């Protein structure tokens, strides 16, 4: 079984849990959970001081998809949950890597095509050079491994060393101990190259300001500058990005705006049919703008792979029901589009358009409005 281990214990200077800081409308802990699940984790274990709030919400979300979620106040139960033959993926508290960093450690590309669930991950300890800005600024978070390297907050290891945790006192740092046990058992170090160490490739959510700066870079990486030759399309793109930066619209935004666009367009058609073509055109233009907002939210969610995570949960639940019906026993989570790709992102060229869609829709409505005798 592939198991993910995360933590929600470290706090910022202002007393907020790092794991609960919001990044594009989703908590840092939520991004970590989504990353682990898309890497094929069938069980998520979260070390926390209190199994409430965001931890409890994520527990319900993960369990509803057919996976297992354990919120532990200590590490005493870890040896019983992680078997020797299991694969264990560890993400440090408040650390969020991008897809390039995960690939550098695990040696795989989790996607629907590669089916990361059935591929064995490469074992490894992600390492930063000791002179990296993050290691110098946060030595307690990026633990020193040797004279030249520090841990980068990502670890893929065998489950066997977890059994040794029972030999350590209850107040020990479980993640730090597992890091040392992994190194002692021969888990190789994976030095991250220059291309992997781009500023947006690794987030340490030590403050709301750091998360906000990462969010800005994240959105810039997956969006293109608006083309004001198509005014309403450009305005919709700007509005979508600003709303997304405040955490709005990427959850139910596409569905809400699609429904609103359909309702408004029907109202415009009705107004034109009842002898008010000018009002119908105006209402249709508003509906078209709502449709552009819907398309913008959907496109951004896909680039951030938020929609893919939802599809992943649905597919996982179907897979679990299918296996249960066949007497298969275990629940398997297939690899879906990589949520970690959201952290690094990839800029796609804007689609070429002739004219403004809003203006085109208005012209179409005017040309096809019913004639009244």
Residue 324 has pLDDT above 50, yes or no: no
Side-chain-facing half-sphere of 90: CA atoms under 13 Å: 28
- Residues comprising the chain, all counted: 373
- Burial of residue 355 (number of CB atoms within 10 Å: 0-12, 13-18, 19+): exposed
Per-residue model confidence (pLDDT) at position 370: 41
**Phi, psi dihedral angles at 12 (to 5 degrees):** -80, 175
What whole-number distance in Å separates Cα of residue 176 and Cα of residue 7?
12
Cα gap 338→345, rounded to integer Å: 10
Instruction: Enter the DSSP assignment of 17.
Output: B
pLDDT band (50, 70, 90) for residue 252: low
What are the structure tokens assigned to 216, written together?
Answer: 């800005």
Closest CA to 154 of 192, 118, 108: 192
Please state the pTM of the whole predicted model.
0.70
Fold observed for domain 2-211: Spore Coat Polysaccharide Biosynthesis Protein SpsA; Chain A (3.90.550)
Whole-angstrom distance, CA of residue 109 vs CA of residue 265: 42
Q: What is the mean pLDDT of residues 191-206?
A: 76
Average pLDDT over residues 46-72: 93
Q: Is the pLDDT of residue 356 over 50?
A: no
Percent of the chain past pLDDT 70, that is, above it, reads: 64
Query: What pLDDT sits at residue 349?
Result: 37
CATH 3.90.550.10 domain position(s) in the chain: 2-211
Question: Which helix (DSSP H) or strand (DSSP E) does residue 47 occupy?
Answer: strand 43-48
Give the model's pLDDT for residue 202.
87
pLDDT tops 70 at residue 341: no
CA distances from 26 to 183, 194, 312 (A): 33, 28, 17
Confidence label for 168 from pLDDT (cuts 50, 70 and 90) = very high
Rounded to an integer, what distance in angstroms lies between the CA atom of residue 225 and that of residue 203? 24
């Amino acid at each position: 079984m592939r198991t993910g281990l995360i933590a929600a214990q470290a706090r910022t200077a202002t007393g907020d849990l790092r794991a609960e800081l919001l990044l594009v409308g989703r908590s840092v802990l939520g991004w970590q959970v989504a990353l682990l699940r898309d890497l094929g984790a069938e069980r998520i274990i979260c070390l926390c001081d209190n199994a409430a709030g965001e931890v409890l919400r994520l527990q319900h979300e993960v369990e509803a998809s057919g996976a297992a979620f354990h919120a532990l106040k200590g590490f005493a139960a870890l040896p019983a949950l992680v078997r020797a033959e299991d694969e264990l993926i560890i993400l440090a508290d408040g650390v969020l890597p991008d897809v390039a960093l995960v690939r550098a450690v695990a040696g795989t590309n989790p996607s629907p095509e590669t089916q990361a669930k059935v591929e064995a991950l490469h074992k490894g300890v992600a390492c930063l050079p000791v002179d990296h800005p993050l290691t110098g600024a946060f030595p307690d978070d990026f633990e020193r491994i040797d004279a030249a390297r520090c841990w980068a907050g990502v670890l893929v290891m065998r489950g066997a060393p977890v059994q040794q945790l029972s030999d350590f006192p209850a107040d020990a740092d479980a993640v730090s101990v597992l890091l040392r046990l992994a190194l002692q058992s021969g888990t190789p170090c994976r030095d991250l190259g220059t291309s992997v160490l781009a500023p947006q490739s690794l987030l340490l959510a030590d403050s709301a300001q750091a998360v906000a700066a990462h969010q800005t870079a994240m959105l810039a990486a997956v969006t293109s500058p608006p083309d004001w030759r198509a005014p309403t399309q450009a305005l919709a793109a700007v509005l979508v990005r600003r709303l997304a930066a405040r955490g709005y619209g990427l959850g139910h935004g596409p569905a809400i705006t699609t429904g609103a666009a359909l309702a408004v367009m029907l109202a415009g058609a009705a107004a034109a049919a009842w002898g008010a073509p000018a009002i119908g055109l105006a209402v249709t233009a508003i509906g078209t703008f709502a449709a552009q907002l819907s398309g913008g939210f959907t496109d951004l969610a896909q680039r951030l792979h938020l929609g893919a995570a939802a599809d992943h949960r649905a597919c996982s639940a179907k897979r679990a029901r299918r296996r249960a019906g066949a007497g298969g026993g275990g629940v398997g989570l297939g690899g879906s589009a990589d949520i970690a790709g959201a952290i690094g992102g990839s800029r796609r060229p804007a689609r070429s358009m002739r004219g403004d869609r809003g203006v085109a829709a208005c012209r179409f409505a005017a040309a096809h409005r019913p004639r009244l005798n």
